[in-house]
Chain A
């Protein structure tokens, strides 16, 4: 029996609006996804949409089940493109940051 994975998730660049106007969230997610695979960032994103997002404007964050182009994802402060994108398998205490570049000043 695996336990949940504790994570720190951060939303900035306007995305915090979708998540109770709160920038940093300490959450934990199941260690395995629905298909009993180790939970990855793709699963986390779906989990966030289903459980943490309080605003109906989901399309500001996700389009067609993937991150909206223009939203940057940082895994432990590195571009997620360097870490395998949504296939990156989450480790306990990982820090995942979502930054929108789409909003103005």
Chain B
């Protein structure tokens, strides 16, 4: 039995995936904490004294994130004002158990906890949504609602920064999925440690000075360079209390396959995971107008991200359906701009839908193929600049459309109509 490579005395217990170094438990947890601290300081993630909400699901990632941040905050005197923020989707037999784990974390760490429920925000729990629309496609609702719920919860707490537990494996998965979908413009969001810095104009318009409105909440993922394996081992060695579960409504899907691929690669060559993350970051730099694309499609891209934070980690988000719904919503908007109405069937035809997607959200991307250029209509191109990130006329949330996606989905629910009946003209308002 080889000794730890750091302290050279204790028995080695962990084979670190990124360096293949053999270290003991105490040296591992110290190194893990030091690396997260380095990520935070080199990216200037936090302001001294900043109020930060930790998106807490009770699962391994957010439990480790909360524990590490609390530890580092005390150790380095960052003076961060940390709170736990949990979303209760209203799924009996799933979220109720993990919320108990969050409550125990709150007590163990001495951090206040705020729970925001879909029911109080939207008048619908996910159990009720599923009763209405069935299991198929419910992840779309959940993802759209969660994104806003975290922002609204943060605003209720007066917090302008939400951190989530996305890890390197999650980011690598998302990078792969974007590659497999031909969706390079989304790489930037997937691989940025800070996402969703809302546009300044919205900030100025919204709310009194200094107050946090739910339209100007910053998002970041401090664990994006941390291996999932090490997160689990950190929780194990620190004896953290977390809850593992699967959402009862989400079946295996595209993300699950990407996840399996990543885990298989990790077994053969563990460095692959961080290498994919790095490749994603490098490729994102090669995609022109990435920032503009991000702003233009901020709402849709954000939904994508929150889906990752969902069961995600468990590889069960229905990304495909989410993407289809997003395309459909964008097509709706395009139809309005074109002055035409066309019913879009679900599931949207991938190839067709994706072209719409690119036309509306990403203006000029030179590296695109001729095929796509040929496909673009002049009128469509001209209409694109009209799409600006503004606020939903109903709820005030950030939206590139007159009415945000959550409000569109809610309207459908409230009219007691099944999801396939959401129409182009009617829903747009």
Contacts and interface: CB of A to CB of B under 8 A. Distances in A.
Interface residues of B, number: 45
A104 B314 contact: yes
Nearest to B228: A101
Given A78-B11, A82-B12, A103 B61 contact: no
B232 A82 contact: no
A12 interface: yes
Nearest to A79: B15
Interface in B320-376: none
A69 B313 contact: no
B243 A105 contact: yes
A105 B61 contact: yes
A69 B263 contact: yes
Contacts of B233: 72
22 contacts: A14-B244, A14-B245, A14-B246, A78-B13, A78-B14, A79-B14, A79-B15, A82-B2, A99-B232, A101-B169, A101-B232, A102-B315, A103-B244, A103-B245, A103-B313, A103-B314, A104-B311, A104-B312, A105-B101, A105-B165, A105-B243, A105-B244
B217 to A, nearest CB: 20
Interface string A34-69: 000000000000000000000000000000000011
Interface in B209-267: 228-229, 231-233, 236, 242-247, 259-260, 263-264, 266-267
Q: Bin the interface of chain A by size.
A: 20 to 34
A78 B58 CA distance: 25
Nearest to A66: B267
Which of B13, B63, B231, B310 has the most chain A CB atoms inside 10 A of its CB? B13
A33 interface: no
A105 B13 contact: no
Nearest to B242: A105
Contacts, number: 88
B201 to A, nearest CB: 35
B62 interface: yes
Contacts of A101: 60, 169, 228-229, 231-232
B400 interface: no
Interface of B: 1-2, 11-15, 22, 25, 57-63, 98, 101, 165, 169, 228-229, 231-233, 236, 242-247, 259-260, 263-264, 266-267, 310-316
Contacts of B242: 105
Given A14-B246, A104-B244, 9 more contacts: A77-B13, A78-B12, A79-B15, A101-B169, A103-B313, A105-B57, A105-B60, A105-B62, A105-B165
A72 B267 contact: no
Contacts of A14: 244-246
| Most B CB within 10 A of own CB, among A14, A72, A82, A105 | A105
A105 B59 contact: yes
3 smallest CB-CB distances across A and B, nearest first, come from: A105-B59, A105-B57, A104-B314
